[in-house]
Amino acid sequence: MSDSLLSPRVAVIGAGLMGREVASAFGRWFTLLDCPVRPELVGVCDVNAAALDWFRQVPTVRHFDQDHHALLARPDIDVVYVAVPHHLHEAIYRDVLRAGKDLLAEKPFGIDLPAARAIRDEATKLGRFVRVSSEFPFLPGAQRVVAYARSGQLGRVLGLRNSFLHSSDLDPAKPINWKRQTRFCGAAGVMNDLGLHVAHVPLRLGWKPVRLHAQLQKIYHERPDGHGGMAACDTWDNATLHCALDLPGQPGVPLVLETKRMSPTDTNTWEIEVLGTDGGMRYSTKRPKTLETYTRGKEQAWAAVDLGFATPFRTITGGIFEPGFPDILQQMWAAFLTERAGRLGDRFGCVTPDEAVTQHEWWTAALRSHADHAVVNL
Ligand SMILES: NC(=O)c1ccc[n+]([C@@H]2O[C@H](COP(=O)([O-])OP(=O)(O)OC[C@H]3O[C@@H](n4cnc5c(N)ncnc54)[C@H](O)[C@@H]3O)[C@@H](O)[C@H]2O)c1
């Protein structure tokens, strides 16, 4: 197998919050025991020169560019990870694909549905390998919920709820940033920002809504602009989508998708609960090693089990230790690069371009549902 598949040279465009996490994941790649691929971070690009400077401590990085065209013209780059504001996704992702590189895209994969379709179609036309970032399903607890939902042990399905919840926006003095402005984040607001995290598992189970009703809230309408004034904060803060699934022989199963920036006490809390007539499972990053299960009986109770470090790719980390954000980000990268090399097998994979387009269809329907106070058929 070629070097570019097993030893891919990777570059990052957008050296902000998420861009730096890649250097961290690759820097301790030797923790992975059974990943056939060994990537090297070779380049970084950011319009902000100060953001590039952090990467100078990463020994493998040899290209520092402020213009993504300059980075993409370099022949010694196989894969590009792009983590920039949403209004730039379509142009930069398509530039990556036209430069002959494979792409790990950030969510939401374009600022809206037409952008997502254009990126997906360009990737198909050019035959490039593209996946989209979503790391929470790689948590051991989430993996168990997925396996359980697939196993048939639920009996008749009573429903699935998946939530991604933040609370820092409750502070009205928190300054504005691009994620709170429609022209940069997109009209779908919090759904663009947090939505793929709650769409990945239902999409992968093949549990796609046939109709939905959305409740969207804009709670604070302005925020400090960081320069002594106030700026309009015009994105949706909280979104609750009540969806219906038609599962084989089970019409109208409820699926609830929650994305909230104002959820008291929650700091990056990802939660999932699936219930059936015979049993159920739930998992929350508030208790990252604990899986709760329920089995129907005369007396009914949730039982809690500590899972430890049962990640999809085995690691040197002791089986009783707790997993965290950097661990699942590394697992996601391992899945992306292993799938790119054709070696993923039956392990859980990253979001596909088609799945990313489908989540945009859901957010578009949610906007229409809210505007019309109506149930929207999908
Ligand atoms: N997977 C996750 O858990 C997760 C978490 C946070 C953000 N994200 C996603 O990652 C992406 C970036 O978010 P972030 O929080 O890292 O943002 P950020 O604001 O921290 O960083 C964005 C970076 O992009 C740079 N940039 C802007 N325009 C550029 C250009 N033309 N060329 C090169 N660099 C440019 C900025 O200077 C900045 O350093 C978004 O799509 C966001 O939705 C994903």
341's tokens = 């090399």
Question: What is the position in ligand 1's atom list of the atom closest to the CA of 193?
Answer: 43
Average model confidence (pLDDT) across the chain: 97
Ligand 1 centroid to residue 148 C-alpha, Å? 34
Cα distance from N-terminal residue to C-terminal residue, the chain: 42
Summarised one tens digit per residue, pLDDT across range 153-163 is 999 999 999 99
Best of 84, 95, 132, 194 to mutate for ligand 1, by most ligand atoms within 8 A of CB? 84
Of all protein residues, whose CA lies closest to atom 25 belonging to ligand 1?
14
Of all protein residues, whose CA lies closest to atom 39 belonging to ligand 1?
16
Q: State the pLDDT at residue 206.
A: 97
Of all protein residues, whose CA lies closest to atom 14 belonging to ligand 1?
17
Q: Are 168 and 219 in contact (CB under 8 A)?
A: no
Summarised one tens digit per residue, pLDDT across range 85-120 is 999 999 999 999 999 999 999 999 999 999 999 999
For ligand 1, whether the C-beta of 51 sits within 6 Å is yes
Ligand 1 centroid to residue 84 C-alpha, Å? 3
Of all protein residues, whose CA lies closest to atom 37 belonging to ligand 1?
48
- Does the pLDDT of residue 1 top 70, yes or no? no
Summarised one tens digit per residue, pLDDT across range 298-315 is 998 999 999 989 999 999
Which residues lie closer than 8 Å to 347 by C-beta, 6 or more apart? 312, 313, 335, 338
Residue ranges of domains in the chain, CATH in brackets: 3-132 (3.40.50.720), 136-321+353-377 (3.30.360.10)
Q: Across residues 311-328, what is the average pLDDT?
A: 94
Query: Crossing angle for the helix pair 190-205 and 140-151, nearest 10 degrees?
Result: 50
What pTM value is reported for the model? 0.97
CA distance 141 to 37: 25
Category of 42 on φ-ψ map: left (φ > 0), alpha (ψ -120 to 50) or beta: alpha
For ligand 1, whether the C-beta of 259 sits within 6 Å is no
Q: State the pLDDT at residue 95.
A: 98
For ligand 1, whether the C-beta of 84 sits within 6 Å is yes
337's tokens = 């690069």
Strand runs labelled E in the chain: 9-13, 40-45, 63-65, 79-82, 102-105, 130-132, 157-165, 209-217, 222-224, 230-232, 238-247, 250-260, 269-276, 279-284, 290-295, 302-306, 376-377
Question: What is the position in ligand 1's atom list of the atom closest to the CA of 45?
Answer: 33
Within 13 Å of residue 7, how many CA atoms lie on the same side as its CB?
3
Within 13 Å of residue 66, how many CA atoms lie on the same side as its CB?
6
